[in-house]
């Protein structure tokens, strides 16, 4: 796998995993649009590990505080998290729908939907318009400290839809948070936090499968390590930038991007089908 392709795909993963524009769509479409061979399963695992590293590095203080509070301990000075000592267990419950969806639909997601460009384009547009609606009608008056069981499950069920390429895990969970009245920055923060267990589970399963197959082949060890490092570094920068951006801006830019990109994907898929 050429190092240039490794760098491009790792940076694309780091950007699109956390912006609400769908990493699965971009990683599925990039080789097609650029004329590259589809990246290997080994490299996909590297990108999963890089994504996991990004959320753990950026939110490690949050996770220590959330975990401590979940077991009745006082640790950390984030007042918003302190208002919700049940947050660990709410996120655990919210992870169940995506775990079930992943187990039931993994084969479709990886082998059927991943190559359906019309589906990807349609999801880019549809979820984009749903984001626009949520951003317009959501009250945006609540923070993470007010989250309850119904809120967490609503967002968890939404996250399960992210197994469909083109949806965007962050996009659909931010949208669900806005529909529940969270402000934009809190929706994004909870989106990243609730995604962490799902990303960790997917990375662990994929890594175990890789070990069972003999580990990383010698020729892919450099791309594998480079993919982890670059996607993690890019992801940390993007998380920080998006949280800061959403304090004062709407989701309009991401909506327009999704709709335009989705239309382009559908148009190209239709042309090249003929």
Question: In total, how many domains does the chain have?
Answer: 1
Write down the H helix ranges in 76-168.
79-82, 87-107, 117-137, 149-160
Residue 31 pLDDT = 77
Residue 36 pLDDT = 76
Residue 72 pLDDT = 93
Residue 14, domain extent: 3-273
> Could you tell me the mean pLDDT of each successive run of 10 residues in the chain, 274 residues long?
85 93 84 72 83 96 96 91 95 94 83 85 96 95 95 96 92 97 97 94 84 81 90 96 96 97 91 70
Distance from C-alpha of 50 to C-alpha of 30, rounded to nearest angstrom = 18
Residue 41 pLDDT = 67
The helix (H) or strand (E) run that includes residue 236 is helix 221-246
Residue 38 pLDDT = 66
Whether residue 118 contacts residue 172, with contact meaning beta carbons closer than 8 Å, is answered with no
Could you tell me the two tokens for 86?
């049940």
Distance from C-alpha of 2 to C-alpha of 101, rounded to nearest angstrom = 34
Residue 159 pLDDT = 95
Could you tell me the two tokens for 185?
């920055």
Residue 73 pLDDT = 93
Residue 42 pLDDT = 74
Whether residue 202 contacts residue 49, with contact meaning beta carbons closer than 8 Å, is answered with no
Residue 266 pLDDT = 93
Could you tell me the two tokens for 194?
């609730």
Write down the H helix ranges in 161-220.
169-179, 184-212
């Amino acid at each position: 796998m050429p190092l240039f392709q490794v760098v491009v795909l790792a940076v694309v993963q780091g950007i699109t995993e956390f912006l609400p524009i769908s990493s699965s769509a971009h990683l599925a479409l990039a080789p097609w649009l650029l004329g590259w061979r589809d990246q290997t399963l080994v490299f996909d695992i590297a990108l999963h590990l890089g994504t996991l590293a990004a959320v753990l590095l950026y939110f490690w203080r949050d996770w220590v505080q959330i975990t401590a509070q979940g077991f009745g301990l006082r640790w950390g000075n984030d007042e918003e998290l302190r208002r919700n000592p049940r947050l660990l267990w709410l996120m655990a419950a919210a992870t169940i729908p995506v775990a079930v969806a992943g187990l039931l639909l993994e084969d479709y997601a990886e082998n059927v939907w991943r190559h359906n460009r019309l589906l990807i384009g349609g999801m880019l547009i549809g979820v984009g318009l749903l984001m626009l609606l949520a951003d317009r009608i959501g009250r945006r008056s609540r923070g993470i400290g007010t989250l309850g069981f119904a809120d967490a499950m609503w967002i968890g069920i939404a996250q399960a839809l992210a197994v469909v390429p083109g949806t965007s895990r962050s996009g659909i969970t931010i949208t669900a948070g806005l529909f529940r009245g969270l402000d934009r920055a809190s929706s994004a923060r909870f989106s990243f936090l609730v995604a962490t267990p799902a990303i960790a589970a997917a990375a662990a399963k994929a890594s175990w499968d890789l070990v069972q197959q003999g580990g990383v082949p010698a020729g892919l060890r450099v791309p594998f390590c480079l993919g982890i490092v670059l996607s993690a570094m890019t992801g940390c920068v993007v998380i920080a930038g998006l949280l800061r951006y959403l304090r004062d801006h709407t989701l309009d830019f991401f909506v327009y991007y999704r709709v335009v990109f989705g239309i382009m994907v559908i148009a190209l898929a239709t042309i090249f089908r003929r």
